């Protein structure tokens, strides 16, 4: 292996594969969360006659995650069977069509159905991204690359909030959805140049990734063994907490800061965007620290506790500070999602990574569908107050922190050396 070829591989995975995944997540996040601004648009509420119907409005995000969670299982098998490249292109084309159809809905029931189908189309994200991460990146880089493309969930919202708000103000919510349908086609162009594996680029350097994986971990589990593994189910619980937190906050922050804290719709976007930028930086920092220390469960526990501590000040701070703090807290959920993916990479065999992802992410995402709807129901039950919803998210992150602590304790009790003489922090993993 020459130095030039090694550098070319580094360029290829970090200058093409990682950015392609990041861009995919940015566009997908805009597509899935535009509804958070649409439900804050008075014209939309009046046209579909849903003003004050908080449970139904929360259901727009929840229906998305029902489709998302169910379809991840299916996409996991499709990605392992047909490859991530074909699946990401197919899924992207389908969700562009669903976005266009959503601009034509005539009532809330139609919109709920379209959101369900949009979620089913976007269910390819996790299996595709984890499969490409596993095939293109060595174990020592997994937390960083997972954090890199998962920041698309915060960057997508940061970019999407002002863009979607401007589109709604200029062309109405229907025009905004039509424009977003066209934007959704852009990732297809990038993935035409991304191969499923390094060896498909005629690179001998694929052995670098394979060798790193063999040195860094003990024998990974088959799919059947994975389902009997306690760490797998702990990661699934943590994924449920992470997914429920991020998408509940994304949906309800705009309504909270405009309807309850009385920020104007026009000024709200800029402050929320600032919070999402902070969340993006936080996610990258956590991913870097987790890779440097190789203590991913402890990193997850600490950031989950930080969420619980910060959620109260976010509610009693001035309106602008509240918007920034709440948007920044999304970085906690995106950080734990990145850590969950990196932890999963060490458990399962490469040929089953998409299916394993489909199961843990599918369960987590499907279960998270209750979050936005429950948050909306709590608002209604408390007479328009939001504190009950935020308390629910705080309790959820306590559960997540407990899951990471349990995962850490399991790993410290049941670790085996992958190879004699290797650095313990970089060569030990949890076994079943």
Lowest mean pLDDT among 22-31, 231-240, 265-274, 327-336: 265-274
| 2 part of a folded domain | no
CATH number for position 69: 1.20.1250.20
Spatial neighbors of 373 by CB under 8 A, at least 6 apart, are: 55, 58, 59, 61, 62
Q: Give the whole-angstrom CA distance, residue 32 versus residue 285.
A: 25
CA atoms within 13 A on the CB side of 255: 29
User: DSSP states of 254-277 as a string?
Assistant: HHIIIIIS---HHHHHHHHHHHHH
Q: Report yes or no on 1 lying in a domain.
A: no
CA separation for the pair 120, 74 (Å, rounded): 9
Specify if 5 maps to a domain. Answer: no
> Is 63 domain-assigned?
yes
- Mean pLDDT, rounded, for 88-116: 90
Q: Is residue 278 in some structural domain? A: yes
* Least confident range of 16-25, 179-188, 402-411, 420-429: 420-429
Number of H helices, E strands in the chain: 21, 2
* More confident: 231 or 23: 23
Across the chain, mean pLDDT equals: 79
φ, ψ at 429 (rounded to 5°): -140, 165
Q: Specify the pLDDT at position 248.
A: 84
DSSP 361-411: HHHHHHHHTHHHHHHHHHHHHTTT--HHHHHHHHHHHHHHHHHHHHHHHHH
Range of the domain at 172: 10-192+207-430
Residue 268 lies in a domain: yes
Q: How would DSSP label each residue in 200-242?
A: GGT-TTHHHHHHHHHHHSSPPBPHHHHTT-HHHHHHHHHHHHH
Residue 201 lies in a domain: no
For residues 31 and 20, what is the distance between their CA atoms, to the nearest angstrom? 17
Give me the pLDDT at residue 217, please.
46
Q: How confident is the model at residue 247 (pLDDT cuts 50, 70, 90)?
A: confident
Domain count for the chain, please give it: 1
pLDDT band at 413 (very low <50, low <70, confident <90, very high): low
**For residue 148, which of 299, 290, 31, 32 has the smallest C-alpha distance?**
290
Identify which has the larger pLDDT, 264 or 159.
Answer: 159
Neighbours of 349 (CB within 10 A): 16
Residue 370 lies in a domain: yes
274 is written with which tokens? Answer: 């600032």
pLDDT in tens, 341-373: 888 777 766 667 777 777 777 777 777 777 877
What's the pTM? Answer: 0.73
Task: Report, in angstroms and rounded to the nearest whole number, the Rg of the chain calculated over CA atoms.
Answer: 21
Nearest to 307 by CA among 372, 249, 239, 261: 249
């Amino acid at each position: 292996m020459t130095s030039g070829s090694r550098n070319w591989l580094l360029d290829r995975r970090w200058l093409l594969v990682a950015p392609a995944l990041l861009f995919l997540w940015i566009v997908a996040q805009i597509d899935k969360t535009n509804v958070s601004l649409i439900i804050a648009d008075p014209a939309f509420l009046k046209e579909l006659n849903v003003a004050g119907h908080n449970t139904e409005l929360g259901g727009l995000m929840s229906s998305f995650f029902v489709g998302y969670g169910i379809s991840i299982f299916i996409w996991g098998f499709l990605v392992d069977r047909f490859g991530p490249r074909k699946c990401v292109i197919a899924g992207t084309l389908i969700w562009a069509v669903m976005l266009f159809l959503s601009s034509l809905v005539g009532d809330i029931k139609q919109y709920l159905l379209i959101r369900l189908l949009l979620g089913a189309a976007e269910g390819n994200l996790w299996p595709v991204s984890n499969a490409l991460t596993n095939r293109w990146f060595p174990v020592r880089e997994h937390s960083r690359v997972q954090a890199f493309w998962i920041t698309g969930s915060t960057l997508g919202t940061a970019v999407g909030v002002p863009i979607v708000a401007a589109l709604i103000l200029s062309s109405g919510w229907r025009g905004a959805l039509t424009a977003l349908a066209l934007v959704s086609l852009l990732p297809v162009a990038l993935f035409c140049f991304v191969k499923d594996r390094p060896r498909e680029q005629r690179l001998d350097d694929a052995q670098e990734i394979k060798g790193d994986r063999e040195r860094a971990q003990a024998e990974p589990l088959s799919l059947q063994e994975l389902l009997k593994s306690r760490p797998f189910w702990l990661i699934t619980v943590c994924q449920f907490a992470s997914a429920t937190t991020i998408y509940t906050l994304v949906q309800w922050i705009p309504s909270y800061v405009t309807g309850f804290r009385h920020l104007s719709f026009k000024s709200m976007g800029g402050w929320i965007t600032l919070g999402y930028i902070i969340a993006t930086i936080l996610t990258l920092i956590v991913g870097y620290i987790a890779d440097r220390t190789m203590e991913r469960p402890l990193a997850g526990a600490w950031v989950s506790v930080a969420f619980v501590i910060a959620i109260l000040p976010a509610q009693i701070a001035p309106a602008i500070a509240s918007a920034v703090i709440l948007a920044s807290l999304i970085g906690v959920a995106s950080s734990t999602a990145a850590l969950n993916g990196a932890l999963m990479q060490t458990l399962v065999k490469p040929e089953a990574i998409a299916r394993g992802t489909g199961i843990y992410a599918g369960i987590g995402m499907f279960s998270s569908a209750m979050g936005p709807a429950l948050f909306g129901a709590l608002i209604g039950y408390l007479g328009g107050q939001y504190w009950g919803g935020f308390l629910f998210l705080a309790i959820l992150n306590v559960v997540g922190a407990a899951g990471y602590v349990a995962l850490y304790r399991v790993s410290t009790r049941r670790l085996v050396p992958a190879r004699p003489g290797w650095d313990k922090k970089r060569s030990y993993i949890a076994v079943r």
